[in-house]
Structure formats: C-alpha cells, structure tokens
Amino acid sequence: MALRDQTAGIRGNLAWGSARHARARAVAIFAAPSTGRVSDPVIGRVQKARAIAGLLTTFALISVYGVDGGWSAVFADGLTKLFLAPLTLILVGPLVIAGFIWYAPPRHRALLRSRLRYPLKAIGWYLGVPALAVGGFLGLGGLLKLMEDVVAVQMLVGLLTLVVGVPYLVWSACFLFFASGPAARYAFNTADVHAALPAVLTTVLVWVLNLVQLGDGLPNGPLPVQIAAFLGGPLSVTAVSYWEVRVLRTRYGVRVRG
C-alpha cells in the first residue's frame, strides 16, 4: 500500500510539474510583453469590466430563461470556444491582416510584412505542438504494424511510448489548454505587427464566433431578449475595440494611416 501511494505521489508530482512547465511556456510565447504591444492599464480595466459584465449577463439570462442541456452544456460550450477562438483566428486572421496591411500607407507595408514572423512563430507553436504529438503516435503505431513480428522493436516502441510519448502527450495537452486563452486574447502576438491589429482581429473574431454559434439557435427567452443576447456581446466588443484604437491614436500616436 505504501509503495502504491508513493508511486501515485510521484505520478502526481510529475503531472503537476508538467502542467506548470507547459503553462510557463505558453505564457512566455503568447502572453509575454513585447515591444509592439501597448500596455495601458485603463484599456485593460475596461476590457476586464466588459468581460465580467458579459459573463454576469450570460449567467443572469441562463438563470432566468434556462438553457438547453443545462449548466453542463454551458461549460462544454465555454470549453469549445476556448479552443475554437484561436483556430478561427488562424483561419480568418490572414484575410484581416492582409486587408490591414493593404489599408496602411504604401511606405509602411514592407515593414508590417517583415513583422509577420512574430505571429507566424506563435501559430507555429500552437499548431506544431499537437501536430508533433499526433505525428509521433501515428509514426510509432505504423512502426509497430510494420515490425509486428520483431519483439525487440515492439519492446522499444513500448518503452518510447511510456517514457517519451505519454509525458509529451500530457505536456502538449496542458500547453494547448493554457495557450488557447492568451493566443486569442493577444491575437497570436499580432501587436508586434501593429499595436492596433489585435483590436481589429478581436472584433472580427467575436462576430465570426457569434455567427458560428447561430447554428445552435438563439438563446432562450422572448424575441427582444434573444436579439439583445445575440448582438450584445459582439456590439460591446466592437465598441471597446473602437475605443481602444482611438486611445492608441490619441494617447500614444498609434495610427494605421499617416
């Protein structure tokens, strides 16, 4: 019993250490301060206030009018959006960035394009970590199938899976979980391209996600409440983003054109 408890404790410490390392790596890549990002405490407070107000409004609507599937469906929907938001940014972001650079003065376009390496590096990490995990397990599975009659190879693959594959799978899952929020919030470090670009991308992202969510139907409640619930989030995010761009221009001299 003591040996079993000790083994369980070692596994727990390894899992906890892996999660901490994955979180630290995710923060270092997606949420670390950069030279292009403008950190204004007022902007941060307004963004947090809007997020809290939106969360409280959502819970109030659900408490009054209910939701299909109950609170478990709310949790599942939130978890889905956590991973869906970065993937949506990866899909629609290139079009928005291309339009943003085209809108900028011609003399600035080459510089903006040269800075794309920063978000591309972040996207590479976000897609590369799980891709390596999937590719590694597929490769080991293919090797097992190819060498199914060779006992030594099977033992080696089993050892690699246990010592390297499983720990990396745990680490990559933790990394993806901790990276998804900052990746969406900071729009894959696109502030390194232009300080106003994350606000623009956030506005596009919230409207796209809202349209995707429309496939599940409008929230419960009277029609005016449904419309308000559907449009309230995107409109409030758009208003805050517009105000943020204006603050960047008036207080810090950040301009898209000029």
Q: What is the pLDDT of residues 50-76, one digit of tens each?
A: 999 988 988 888 888 877 777 777 788
**Predicted local confidence at residue 86, as pLDDT:** 95
pLDDT at 88 over 50: yes
Q: Regarding predicted confidence, which is higher, 47 or 213?
A: 47
Is there a domain that residue 257 lies in?
no
Domain count along the chain: 1
Q: What percent of the chain has pLDDT over 70?
A: 93
Is there a domain that residue 196 lies in?
yes
Is there a domain that residue 168 lies in?
yes
Supply the range of the domain harboring residue 9: 2-252
Q: Regarding predicted confidence, which is higher, 10 or 200?
A: 200
Average pLDDT, the chain: 86
Is there a domain that residue 258 lies in?
no
SS3 letters for the chain? CHHHHHHHHHHHHHHHHHHHHHHHHHHHHHCCCCCCCCCCHHHHHHHHHHHHHHHHHHHHHHHHHCCCCHHHHHHHHHHHHHHHHHHHHHHHHHHHHHHHHHHCCHHHHHHHHHCCHHHHHHHHHHHHHHHHHHHHHHHHHHHHHHCCCCHHHHHHHHHHHHHHHHHHHHHHHHHHHHHHHHHHHCHHHHHHCCCCHHHHHHHHHHHHHHHHHHHHCCCCCCHHHHHHHHHHHHHHHHHHHHHHHHHHHHHHCCCCCC
Q: Regarding predicted confidence, which is higher, 176 or 219?
A: 176
Q: Regarding predicted confidence, which is higher, 161 or 123?
A: 123
Q: Regarding predicted confidence, which is higher, 148 or 171?
A: 171
What are the tens digits of pLDDT across the range 99-141? Answer: 999 999 999 999 999 999 999 999 999 999 999 999 988 887 8
Q: What is the pTM of this model?
A: 0.86
Lowest mean pLDDT among 19-23, 28-32, 158-162, 166-170: 158-162
**Predicted local confidence at residue 67, as pLDDT:** 76
